[in-house]
Amino acid sequence: MSLLEARQVSVRFGGLVALRNIDMCQNANETLGMIGPNGSGKTTFVNVVTGHVKPASGAVDFDGVPLARCRPFEIAGAGLSRTYQAVRVFRELTGRENIATALVNAACPLDADAVVEATEWLRLTHRLDARAGSLTLYEQRRLELLMRLVQRPKLLMLDEPVGGLSSVEVRSMIAVLNELKARCTIFIIEHTMKVIRELADRVIVLLAGEKIADGPPGDILADRRVIENYLGSVDA
């Protein structure tokens, strides 16, 4: 049985069709990527799955449970966690307080030793007492990951986790995310192929709200429709 399954999901904003009849599934321990140009509906898809946007039609199941009537906090509580395209931490609180906030709301949080270990793994130990808003963007991105990790999500949906990072940091983040695969199942949105190619086992391509391809990164890169519509025009 798949961990996440969406069937015929459509979203309309007024007259605009943001997503049209999207079918997808993701198995546990499979890293799934989603790419597409700006405005193709990637973030909207994550918003639907995490309960922030109600779809006009279609259904989403997570871990065998339908999510249709669930509110975002219930979905998070069920182990489906997300991050945001623009990094989002509690800026006025310290790193330690940010983590504590994530911990008090977790159904089965990491134990104290595991939190220390994860903090060290993300190289945030020495930054825990600084105000989160004073951290560098890359540190905030890692803090964001840590806040999800301590909640032990079954699935972590990352919305452009390398957005705004320098090229050195992007490489470092890719390494972090590769190690993250051992800790939880990842769904990752990117609008560049580079990150996806290195991380994903399978890729879904969105274009103007429609799924135009679904398969291993190698096949996707060879797909003519993808090349014409996307890779040829942006960067590959």
Partner 1 sequence: MNAGIRWWLPYACFAIAALAVPLLLSGNRYFAFVAGMTLISVLWATGMNLLYGYTGLMPMVFAGIAGISAYLTVGLVAAGWSFWPAMLVGSVVAALVGTVLGLPSLRLRGFYFTLCSLVIQTVITLAFVYFVNLTNGDTGISQIAPPKLPGGEALGGLAYDVVLAVLAVIGVVVLAVLVDSSFGRRLIAIREDEGLAEALGIDVTRQKLAAFFISSLFAGVGGAFYAPYVGFISPRSFDVLVSLNIWLMVAFGGRGTIWGPVLGATLLAPVPFLLQDYYTIKDVVYGLLIIGVIVLLPAGLVGGLKHLRPRPAPAAAAKAEPAQ
Among 26, 43, 44, 50, binds partner 1 (CB under 8 A): 50
> What angle, rounded to 10 degrees, do the helices at 137-149 and 167-180 form?
10
User: Any contact of residue 81 with partner 1 (CB under 8 A)?
Assistant: yes
Assess 164 for contact with partner 1 (CB under 8 A): yes
Q: How far is CA 14 from CA 17, 46, 122, 190, in A?
A: 8, 19, 42, 26
Q: Where are the beta strands (DSSP E) in the chain?
A: 4-13, 16-26, 32-35, 57-62, 65-66, 80-82, 155-159, 185-190, 202-207, 210-215
Half-sphere exposure of 229 (CA within 13 A, CB side): 19
Contact string (CB under 8 A) for partner 1, positions 180-219, x = contact: ----------------------------------------
Does 72 help bind partner 1 (rule: CB under 8 A)?
A: yes
The one among 8, 66, 91, 179 contacting partner 1 by CB under 8 A: 91
Residues 113-132 that bind partner 1 (CB under 8 A): 126-127, 129-131
User: Rule CB under 8 A: is residue 45 a binding residue for partner 1?
Assistant: no
Candidate segments 31-39, 53-61, 73-81, 208-216, binder of partner 1 by CB under 8 A: 73-81
**77 near partner 1 (CB under 8 A):** yes
Q: What is the separation, in whole angstroms, between the first and last Cα of the chain? A: 34
Q: Kindly state the smallest distance separating residue 104's Cβ from partner 1, in Å.
A: 4
For partner 1, the binding residue among 12, 101, 174, 210 (CB under 8 A) is: 101
Q: Which residues between 133 and 162 bind partner 1 (CB under 8 A)?
A: 134, 136-138, 147, 151
Alpha carbon distance 233, 236 (integer Å) = 9
User: If binding is defined by CB under 8 A, does position 53 make contact with partner 1?
Assistant: no
> Can you tell me the distance from the alpha carbon of 213 to that of 145, in angstroms, rounded to the nearest whole number?
28
**Does residue number 169 form part of the binding site for partner 1 (CB under 8 A)?**
yes
Does 88 sit near partner 1 (CB under 8 A)?
yes
Which segment (6-14, 99-107, 112-120, 197-205) binds partner 1 by CB under 8 A? 99-107
Q: Which of 107, 134, 140 is closest to 122 using CA atoms?
A: 140
Query: Which amino acid, 160?
Result: E
* Burial 74-101, CB ≥16 within 10 A → b, else e: ebbebbbbbbebebebbeeebbeebbee
Binding site for partner 1 (CB under 8 A): 50, 71-73, 76-77, 81-82, 84, 88-93, 97, 100-102, 104-107, 126-127, 129-131, 134, 136-138, 147, 151, 164-166, 169
